[in-house]
């Protein structure tokens, strides 16, 4: 019975139990932080909008849980979760991901504009009011926290642990366990992103492509820099530059351009956001190819070696 819970070779719990323990510690720390917030301020956390959400408490509690789990349960250094801000390559990845993330909605905008699917009602709007700039700054920081939170848990912690857990599928080729783990993480991603929306083929297909796009950098480099950059860049351009409908949590935001949408929902996504349109499907495919070529040029390889599935004892 013990072998179902403990991996004697690695001297630590098996992957499923590691993930469950991490979630339990994470939720406990989150509860403590929310309780402290209530005691110090006399009010509960406001989750009614993106800029007033508890995302910072969720991120801090997640980081705390990973520090604890990494030391005592996962038994690995924190940097193996893909965060190493002292590493030059991390910032190079982040910069390239940020560029790609911003460019994709801009390309989509020009496609819509050329097809008369969208018109500019007003803009560019660059208001001088100090509170507007403060709102944009706070929103940008919150988007960064949201993307880091999502990336660190789904595309790093869970993906790495599931890859190691699926190693029994093929001990000679780590690619198969990593692919199996990726499929599981994409299911988690679809469930968390599509809540509140009617499932359809285009939405699910685009979320699968978006999931692969976000997971690909960590699988290839085991760094989260590009994944975080992609998410932040996409959300900044989509929400703050153009004000496109967004599948993520959103608030009443000041945008540089005010747009009027008239195009077919099948291609534009309509009120459900770009992620539900066929145009985004094509852009995501192209972006995945560009990222693969970028990594091939930098590292000389475009295929992942599956090393993430093999645990190195510390």
202-237 pLDDT, tens digit per residue, is 778 888 888 888 998 899 888 999 999 999 998 888
Which pairs from 299-302 meet CB under 8 Å and 24+ separation? Answer: 299/220, 299/221
pLDDT at 129: 52
Distance CA 309, CA 179 (A): 10
Confidence of residue 128 (pLDDT cuts 50, 70, 90): low
Q: Is the pLDDT of residue 130 over 60?
A: no
Q: Mean pLDDT across the stretch 150-157?
A: 94
200 backbone dihedrals φ, ψ, rounded to 5°: -145, 170
Distance CA 63, CA 153 (A): 9
Distance CA 65, CA 278 (A): 38
- Reading the block at residue 166, the tokens are 């699926």
Question: Residue 76 gets which letter from DSSP?
Answer: S
Question: Residue 78 gets which letter from DSSP?
Answer: G
- Residue 122 pairs in a beta bridge with 258
The residue that leads in pLDDT, 303 or 92, is 92
CA-based nearest residue to 285, from 228, 202, 221, 209: 209
Distance CA 268, CA 271 (A): 9
Cβ-contact 30, 22 below 8 angstroms: no
Distance CA 241, CA 258 (A): 9
Residues 6 or more apart whose CB falls under 8 angstroms from that of 93 comprise: 217, 221, 223, 225, 226, 229
pLDDT at 73: 93
pLDDT at 125: 61
Confidence of residue 242 (pLDDT cuts 50, 70, 90): confident
Mean pLDDT, the chain, whole residue set: 83
Range of 118-122, 123-127, 136-140, 188-192 with top mean pLDDT: 188-192
SS3 118: strand
SS3 50: helix
Residues 6 or more apart whose CB falls under 8 angstroms from that of 291 comprise: 100, 213, 216, 217, 226
Digit-coded pLDDT (tens) for 72-116: 999 999 999 999 988 999 999 999 999 999 999 999 989 988 888
The residue that leads in pLDDT, 118 or 300, is 118
Q: Which H or E run contains 12?
A: strand 12-13
Query: Residues for the chain: how many in total?
Result: 314
Distance CA 158, CA 250 (A): 25
pLDDT at 210: 86
Report how far Cα 56 is from the mean position of its chain's Cα atoms.
15
SS3 261: strand
Distance CA 272, CA 277 (A): 9
Distance CA 92, CA 229 (A): 10
pLDDT at 249: 46
The residue that leads in pLDDT, 69 or 242, is 69
The residue that leads in pLDDT, 313 or 109, is 109
| Percent residues over pLDDT 70 in the chain | 83
**Segments in the chain forming alpha helices (H):** 15-41, 55-72, 88-114, 130-152, 159-165, 175-193, 201-221, 225-235, 265-268, 278-299
Among 172-176, 222-226, 244-248, where is mean pLDDT lowest? Answer: 244-248
Confidence of residue 314 (pLDDT cuts 50, 70, 90): low
């Amino acid at each position: 019975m013990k072998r179902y819970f403990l991996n004697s070779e690695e001297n630590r719990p098996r992957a499923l139990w590691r993930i469950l323990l991490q979630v339990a510690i994470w939720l406990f720390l989150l509860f403590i932080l929310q309780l402290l917030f209530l005691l110090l301020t006399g009010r509960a956390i406001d989750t009614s909008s993106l800029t007033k959400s508890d995302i910072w408490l969720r991120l801090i509690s997640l980081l705390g849980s990973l520090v604890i789990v990494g030391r005592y349960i996962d038994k690995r250094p924190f940097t193996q979760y893909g965060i190493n801000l002292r590493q030059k390559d991390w910032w190079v990845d982040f910069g390239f991901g940020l560029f790609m993330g911003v460019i994709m909605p801009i390309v989509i905008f020009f496609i819509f504009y050329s097809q008369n699917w969208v018109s500019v009602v007003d803009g560019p709007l660059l208001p001088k009011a100090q509170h507007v700039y403060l709102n944009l700054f706070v929103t940008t920081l919150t988007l960064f926290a949201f993307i880091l939170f999502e990336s660190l848990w789904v595309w790093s912690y869970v993906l790495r642990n599931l890859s190691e857990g699926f190693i029994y599928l093929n001990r000679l080729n780590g690619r198969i366990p990593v692919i199996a783990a990726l499929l599981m993480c994409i299911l988690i991603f679809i469930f968390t992103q599509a809540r509140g929306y009617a499932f359809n083929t285009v939405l699910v297909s685009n979320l699968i492509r978006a999931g692969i796009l976000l997971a690909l950098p960590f699988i290839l480099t085991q760094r989260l820099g590009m994944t975080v950059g992609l998410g932040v860049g996409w959300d900044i351009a989509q929400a703050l530059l153009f004000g496109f409908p967004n599948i993520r949590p959103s608030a009443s935001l000041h945008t540089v351009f005010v747009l009027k949408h008239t195009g077919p929902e099948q291609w534009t996504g309509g009120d459900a956001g770009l992620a539900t349109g066929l145009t985004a499907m094509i852009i995501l495919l192209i972006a995945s190819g560009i990222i693969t070529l970028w990594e091939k040029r930098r590292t000389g390889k475009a295929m992942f070696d599956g090393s993430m599935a093999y645990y190195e004892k510390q």
